[in-house]
């Protein structure tokens, strides 16, 4: 008799634990699908898709409006208050690039992160630009390739969002 009572008690406990596990699983699924999926999907996936489209467009050599020209960012961040001056990789003579760079993005969360990581981003930009030759900067297609490369090198440094465009102003190759 005591054995039957113990078995019924164990069965009830097992059923209760299974029901709780099912409720927790359903709650996790609903929480992910309603809240996190939209937030992660809108920033992470779309930025990766934009990068892929930009790379494919540059490789395909689009002569009409390029992908970065099609993307208009809602916010911009000026990378440096002064113009950026770097040596170019030309071997025949000393060539310099003087440029002002703005990073385009859409996420409000990215404001503070760009400010915090400005020196790291600046170093990355300078390292990329120093590998370029004057011919890479002079043509529109070359400048587009530089933009895509900069986006691909900067985005892995960011955690709160992604940049979706690079804007150059005052480009001077000397």
pLDDT tens for 12-48 read 889 988 998 999 888 888 877 776 655 544 444 455 5
- Give the pLDDT of residue 69: 63
- Confidence (pTM): 0.62
Q: How many domains does the chain have?
A: 1
> Domain residues for 102?
1-174
Q: Find the CATH number of the domain harbouring 74.
A: 3.30.479.30
**Strand locations in 1-150 (E):** 75-78, 84-87, 96-105
């Amino acid at each position: 008799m005591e054995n039957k009572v113990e078995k019924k008690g164990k069965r009830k406990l097992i059923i209760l634990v299974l029901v709780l596990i099912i409720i927790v699983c359903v709650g996790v699924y609903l929480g992910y699908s309603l809240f996190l999926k939209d937030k992660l999907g809108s920033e992470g996936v779309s930025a990766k898709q934009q990068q892929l489209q930009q790379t494919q467009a540059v490789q395909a050599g689009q002569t009409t409006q390029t992908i970065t020209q099609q993307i208009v960012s809602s916010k911009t961040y000026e990378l440096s208050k002064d113009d950026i001056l770097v040596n170019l990789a030309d071997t025949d003579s000393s060539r310099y690039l003087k440029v002002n760079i703005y990073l385009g993005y859409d996420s409000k969360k990215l404001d503070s992160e760009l400010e915090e990581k400005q020196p790291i981003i600046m170093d990355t930009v300078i390292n990329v630009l120093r590998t370029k030759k004057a011919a890479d900067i002079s043509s529109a297609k070359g400048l587009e390739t530089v933009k895509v490369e900069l986006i691909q090198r900067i985005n892995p440094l960011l955690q709160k969002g992604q940049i979706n465009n690079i804007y150059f102003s005052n480009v001077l190759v000397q």
